[in-house]
Copies of this chain bind each other. A is one copy, B any other.
């Protein structure tokens, strides 16, 4: 059995890509099953509820040598702890290639598009398989989520074309209304603990020296209701301090992205973070919130800038 799963702290793309790719592989005769590496966020729970599909099971511990397919990620820091022992036979992803290596020639499908769902649609077409309504809804939801319905600079023509194709197959007549409902679900954070909010869409990146990099944790909260998040600013800063100490990080950033106004205000934990934010982005940092303007994509507008800032000088 081939276990198919997306990254830790799964988002809508990570969950739906696992479901859709496992279903596609099954139609092609591969004994594949979707799993998840963590709890669903509120947006993903909404998407699966609307689609009438159960969440994939939590991935059980896998023995060394077990065959796995990765979707929506490839770096070991974002995957199962024992990834290096597993037999990665397939990857479908739209991120930069990190530290993955394989023992045998794999099937790899990476494209620089906004969402794994966009690549999965291509795989259906190339296989000559019709797109079923459920798969269409899952891929559509993932693309709307990853691109913030085309607001993110990660959006490509392929993502727009995929949504135009998928919406009628999925039976979604008003795409913007559906996207806003997804974003509202995501923003309904209720009494979620502050550390859970921080870790909901959170990744650790190594910066600087390749052999001895410094590790930075970067969380993003995409919301239509930033006022709610900033109302919990003190709690979130305390959670960031706890995570930084517990995980031995050089710094922790938490970007609050206002989906509808396309702005990013980032919580500033301390002097190290303030220095990096002002040095890397050229913004003035005065107090616990830095205005990063329209930089709403961690992948395209935050991490590359930090990589350049921390790069060893030749």
Of the listed stretches A103-111, A250-258, A265-273, name the one at the interface; the rest are far from the partner chain. A103-111
> In the assembly, what is the distance between CA of A109 and CA of B106, in Å?
10
Contact of A168 with B by CB under 8 A? no
> In the assembly, what is the distance between CA of A122 and CA of B125, in Å?
13
The answer on a CB contact under 8 Å between A109 and B112 is no
Q: From residue A110, how far is it (CB to closest CB) to chain B in Å?
A: 4
The answer on a CB contact under 8 Å between B96 and A102 is yes
* Interfacial chain B residues near A104, Cβ < 8 Å: 96, 112, 304
Question: 0/1 per residue, A81-99, Cβ < 8 Å to B?
Answer: 0000000000001111111
Partner among B96, B99, B105, B109 whose Cβ is within 8 Å of the Cβ of A94: B105
Q: From residue A213, how far is it (CB to closest CB) to chain B in Å?
A: 13
Q: From residue A15, how far is it (CB to closest CB) to chain B in Å?
A: 20
The answer on a CB contact under 8 Å between B103 and A304 is yes
Q: From residue A275, how far is it (CB to closest CB) to chain B in Å?
A: 24
Partner among B93, B100, B126, B307 whose Cβ is within 8 Å of the Cβ of A97: B100
Contact of A278 with B by CB under 8 A? no
The answer on a CB contact under 8 Å between B108 and A108 is yes
Q: From residue A225, how far is it (CB to closest CB) to chain B in Å?
A: 30
Contact of A196 with B by CB under 8 A? no
The answer on a CB contact under 8 Å between A106 and B110 is yes
* Interfacial chain B residues near A299, Cβ < 8 Å: 105
Contact of A101 with B by CB under 8 A? yes
Question: 0/1 per residue, A109-124, Cβ < 8 Å to B?
Answer: 1111100000000100
> In the assembly, what is the distance between CA of A110 and CA of B106, in Å?
6
Partner among B95, B101, B304 whose Cβ is within 8 Å of the Cβ of A96: B101
Q: Rank and list the top 5 A-B pairs by shortest CB-CB distance, nearest first.
A: A108-B110, A105-B112, A97-B102, A108-B108, A96-B102
A/B interface sample: 27 pairs, CB < 8 A: A95-B105, A96-B101, A96-B102, A96-B103, A96-B104, A96-B105, A97-B100, A97-B102, A97-B106, A97-B108, A98-B101, A99-B101, A103-B304, A103-B307, A104-B304, A105-B110, A105-B111, A105-B112, A106-B110, A106-B112, A107-B110, A107-B112, A108-B108, A108-B109, A108-B110, A109-B110, A126-B126
Question: Besides A99-B101, A106-B110, A107-B110, 7 other CB < 8 A contacts?
Answer: A97-B100, A98-B101, A104-B304, A105-B299, A106-B112, A108-B109, A122-B126
